[in-house]
Structure 1
Amino acid sequence: MKKSIVLVTLVIWSTFAMAQKPTKLDSIKIIPLDTVYWKRSAQFGINLNQGSFSSNWKGGGVNSVALGAFFNAKSDYMQRRFNWTSEVQLQYGIVKNEGQNSRKNVDRIFLDTKVGNRLSPVWLAFGNINFLSQFAPGYRYETLPSGGERSVLISSLFSPAFLTESIGLEYKPVTYFNLQFGLGTIRQTFVLDDDITIGEPTRYGVPPGKNVRNEFAFQLIANFDKNVAENLNLKARYQLFANYATLDAIDHRLDLALTAKVNKYINVNLTGIFLYDQDQDDAIQYSQGLAIGFLYSF
C-alpha cells in the first residue's frame, strides 16, 4: 500500500505540472534569471509493422504482425530562480509470428519530476524523483530437447521496479542539454512477484526472502533532446549509478531515440537501449527497434 501511494503521488505530481497554463517562451540559449515561462509538449503514436510470404517464397521468412503504442509528455517551467521539469514516457508493443503466441517487443513506464533552484545562469541545486518499470510480464523462451518451447517468467509489473530519489547539482547551459550530479541518491529496487527467479539468489539485486533493496549512491545523468535537422529529433539519456558500498560494480544505461517526421501525422522511429548492470547480467544488454507509424503532437 505504501509503495502504491508513492507511485500515485508521482503520477499526480507529473500530470499536474503538464496541466498548467503556458506563457510565451522566447528563443534563448542561456536563460536570464528574470525569465518566466512554460514549455510543454506531448506526443501520442501507434506503430504497425506487418510482413507476409507466399507458401513457395524461396527467400524464406515467417508471416508476422507487430503493433505498438506510446505516449510521451514533458513540461518545463522556469520563474526567476525556480525550475520544475516533469516527464512521462509510456510504451507498449506486441509482435505475433506465425506459429507462435503473441509476445511483447517493447514495454516501458518512465516517470520523472525534478525541481531546482538556480544558483547561477547555468547551475541549479535540484531534487528529483524517478520511477521506472513495465506493464506486463516478460518471459525468456527456451527450446526443449523434444523441439518444443517453454517460457520462463523473468519480469512483470513492479518486478523489477526502480524508485530513485536524488539531490545534487545540475549544469544546464542550454534548454536542450543538461547534466545532473546526484551527490545524494537513494534507490529502491522492487521485486514484488515471488515467481521471478532470474538471477537467483539476488533477483535484480534484491536479497532472498525480501521484496525491496535500498541503495545509497552517486548518480550522473546526461540528457539531450534537440532537432538535429529539419524534422529530425534526437533524444538521448545516459545514466551512471554508483552504489557507495560497491563502487567496483557501477551501473550504466543509455537510451537513444531518433525520430524522423515524414509529414504532420507520419513518423519513423529508431530506438536503442544499452544497459550494464551486474545485478542482472555480467554482459552488456541491448535492445533495438525500428518502426513507422502515426504520430499526433500537441
Structure 2
Amino acid sequence: MKNLVFLLFIPLSFFSQEKIVDTSEVVGWKKSGKSSFLINQTAFSNWISGGENSIAGTLSVDYDINFYKNEWSWDTKIIGSFGVNKNSDSKFLKKIDDRIEINSVIAKEFIDEFSFSGFLNFKTQFARGFQYSTSEEGDEIRNEKTRIFSPAYTQLGAGVYWKKSNALWVNFAPITARLILVNKKFTNDLDDGEDYFGVPDGQNSRFELGASVSAFYEFALVYMTQILPFNDIHSYNLFTA
C-alpha cells in the first residue's frame, strides 16, 4: 500500500505595532505592541513509521507602555500567551503555553543611563493545568495541579536601573519582597514535609525576602530576506523565607 503523509502548517500572524521609540529622548507617553495567532496541523495517512495527527494553536500579545519626563521614567511590559494542542491519541485538549506577566519599573536618573528604581513584577496563568497519567484500566486520566492565581507571584523591590534604550536594560534590586499566592484546594491534603510551589500544608501564601536581577534585550534576527524581531526578559532571584 502506498505510504502517504500529509503535513499542514498554517502560521497566521496579526500585528499591531507602533515604531519603537527611545523614551529617554522623547517626553511623554509612548506605547507599542504586537499580537499573533499561530495554527499548525499535522496529519498522517498510512505512514509506515507511525505518527499522531495533531492540531495546535497559540495566541500571544506583547505590549510596552513607556513614559519619560524630567529624568523620571516608567517602563511597563505586558505579556500574555495561551496555546493548546489536540493529539489524535488523547481525549484531552492540552496546554502548550500559558502565561500572564506584567513587569513595571519606575526610575529617577542620577547619572547618565543610571537611575534609582522601584519595580513590580506579577506572574500567573490563564487556565487550569493538569498532570496526566493512565488508569489501571488503561484510560488516560488527569489531575488538576494549577489554575489562575494558583500560583500567582508578586515581586516588589528597590535598586538601580541601567537603561541603554527601550531595547536594552538591566534592573538590580538588592531589596526585594516576593509574595506567592495559591488556592487552599491544593495545600489542604499535602503530605508531611511536602509543599505546593513553596507554600506549606494548609496555607494559601508564602512571603519571602531576597534580591532580584532582571534584564531585557531586543534585536533583529536576519533570516534569508526577512528581519525578525526577537526579545525576552530574564530574571534571576535569590530569596529566603
Which TM-score band (shorter chain)?
A: 0.7 to 0.9
**Range 144-153 or range 101-110, more displaced:** 144-153
Shift of 1:44: 1.6
More strand by proportion, 1 or 2?
2
State the partner residue of 1:202. Answer: 195
1:212 aligns with 2:211: no
Shift of 1:162: 0.2
State the partner residue of 1:232. Answer: 228
Kindly provide the CA deviation profile for residues 102-150 of structure 1, in whole angstroms up to 9, marking residues without a partner as x: 1111111111222110111111111111110001111111233443222
**Residues 62, 97 of structure 1: 8 Å contact kept:** yes
Match of 2:154 among 145, 157, 163: 163
Quote the Cα distance in structure 1 between the aligned partners of 2:96 and 2:190. 19
Match of 1:172 among 156, 163, 168: 163
Quote the Cα distance in structure 1 between the aligned partners of 2:34 and 2:123. 19
1:60 aligns with 2:50: yes
1:241 aligns with 2:223: no
Kindly provide the CA deviation profile for residues 25-81 of structure 1, in whole angstroms up to 9, marking residues without a partner as x: 5x79xx56xx52543211121110101111x22131111111121111102222231
1:191 aligns with 2:210: no
Quote the Cα distance in structure 2 between the aligned partners of 1:198 and 1:149. 24
Q: 1:128 to 1:211 in 2, by over 3 A?
A: same
**Residues 175, 210 of structure 2: 8 Å contact kept:** yes
**Residues 218, 244 of structure 1: 8 Å contact kept:** no
Stretches of structure 1 that go unaligned for 5 or more consecutive residues are 1-21, 246-298
Quote the Cα distance in structure 2 between the aligned partners of 1:176 and 1:91. 21
> Which consecutive aligned stretches of 4+ in structure 1 deviate over 3 angstroms post-superposition?
195-200
Quote the Cα distance in structure 2 between the aligned partners of 1:88 and 1:151. 31
State the partner residue of 1:19. Answer: none
Q: Secondary structure at the match of 2:199?
A: coil
1:80 aligns with 2:70: yes
RMSD: 2.5
Shift of 1:82: 0.4
**Residues 214, 235 of structure 2: 8 Å contact kept:** yes
Quote the Cα distance in structure 1 between the aligned partners of 2:178 and 2:114. 24
**Residues 159, 193 of structure 1: 8 Å contact kept:** no
Letter in 2 for 1:205: G
Q: 1:210 to 1:244 in 2, by over 3 A?
A: closer
Alignment of 1:242-281 (within 5 A): 242-244=238-240
Pairs aligned (count) = 218
Letter in 2 for 1:214: F
**Residues 172, 179 of structure 1: 8 Å contact kept:** yes
More helix by proportion, 1 or 2?
1
Quote the Cα distance in structure 1 between the aligned partners of 2:57 and 2:164. 39
State the partner residue of 2:14. Answer: none
Q: Larger RCO: Structure 1 or Structure 2 (Cα < 8 Å, ≥ 6 residues apart)?
A: 1
- The percent of aligned pairs where both chains have the same amino acid is 25
Q: Secondary structure at the match of 1:194?
A: helix
Q: Secondary structure at the match of 1:104?
A: strand
Greater Rg over alpha carbons, structure? 2
**TM-score, normalising length: structure 1:** 0.67
1:48 aligns with 2:51: no
State the partner residue of 1:97. Answer: 87
State the partner residue of 1:147. Answer: 138
Letter in 2 for 1:159: S
Q: Secondary structure at the match of 1:231?
A: strand
Q: 1:170 to 1:198 in 2, by over 3 A?
A: farther
Stretches of structure 2 that go unaligned for 5 or more consecutive residues are 1-17
**Residues 156, 193 of structure 1: 8 Å contact kept:** no
